[in-house]
Structure 1
């Protein structure tokens, strides 16, 4: 059975590509791009250094650069997947990261709503419990 369009598998492939991209200093975006729909949208809260809506592969790559400028390392741990229909999935996970500017290690819970289309990510909407500790670790002004 081909599970390449299963939202859980799509997301796991994206997480692996994202971790590799950050670990190599953003050398090659093509592996991440292969997991993204050409019309993808990433939403981020205004209180974070990589705030805003990032559209398409170019926008997503610019978001990854801003994200990579913020975090020296990042891993998504213990993801719990909650599929919701054929093209949606909610993911509750723990993010473990080290900030580039401060060297601070930080862990935070994250809930994401992911929409997929044709085996690729179309939209990512993260929901953070509290962005202040994240912004503080990243040395980003919170007021």
Structure 2
């Protein structure tokens, strides 16, 4: 079985292509994504379609948002994606870029949890 980094990279590729059925097929039935609680789309999102729902909520919070994946790495159970997210505020028109690390844990080859770590959630929350 591929390592968790390779599995996570495939899920991100599919999510980028908006192939949500394929993303869901790679998520555990008890999948949970955790966004920082201080953000409007923060908290725990559960079920196989959670990644699609949180992506819609996050992108919908901004006038525009662009993801640039820098690197994906992983071991047996955990994978980490390092990315930049450039967001433009609907409220102020200001653009900001944050480095984000997204840590995914796999169980039986399926993504069971994804934890999102922003560099500065206060800056992001102030612009939403």
Same fold per TM (> 0.5)?
A: yes
Report the equivalent of 1:75: 67
The superposition leaves residues 28-86 of structure 1 with CA deviations (integer Å, 9 ceiling, x where unpaired) of 631321231121110111111211101112444332321231243331321252x34x2
Q: Residues of 1 paired with 2:109 and 2:34: CA distance?
A: 20
Q: Which residue in 2 is equivalent to 1:96? A: 85
Greater fraction strand: 2
Provide closer, same or farther for how the CA distance between residues 76 and 34 of structure 1 changes in structure 2, counting only shifts above 3 A. farther
Structure 1 residues 37 and 74, CA gap change in structure 2 (3 angstroms): farther
Q: 1-side partners of 2:16 and 2:110: how far apart?
A: 17
Distance (whole Å) between structure 2 residues aligned to residue 32 and residue 104 of structure 1: 32
Q: Which runs of 5+ in 1 are unaligned?
A: 22-27
The 3 A distance-change label for structure 1 pair 47 and 10 is same
The residue number in structure 2 matching 1:24 is: none
Q: What is the rounded CA distance, in whole Å, between the counterparts of 1:136 and 1:42 in structure 2?
A: 22
Give the CA RMSD over aligned residues.
2.4
**How much does 1:20 deviate?**
2.5
**Cα gap change, 1:125/1:20 in structure 2, threshold over 3 Å: closer, same or farther?**
same
Match of 1:126 in 2: 116
Residues 123 and 48 from structure 1, CA distance in 2 versus in 1: closer, same or farther, beyond 3 angstroms?
same
Task: From 82, 89, 102, give the equivalent of 1:112.
Answer: 102
Secondary structure, in 3 states, of the residue corresponding to 1:54?
strand
Q: Distance in 1 between matches of 2:88 and 2:23?
A: 22
| Higher normalized contact order (CA 8 Å, seq sep 6+, divided by chain length) | 2
Q: Find the residue that maps to 2:41 and give its secondary structure.
A: coil
TM-score where L is the length of structure 1: 0.71
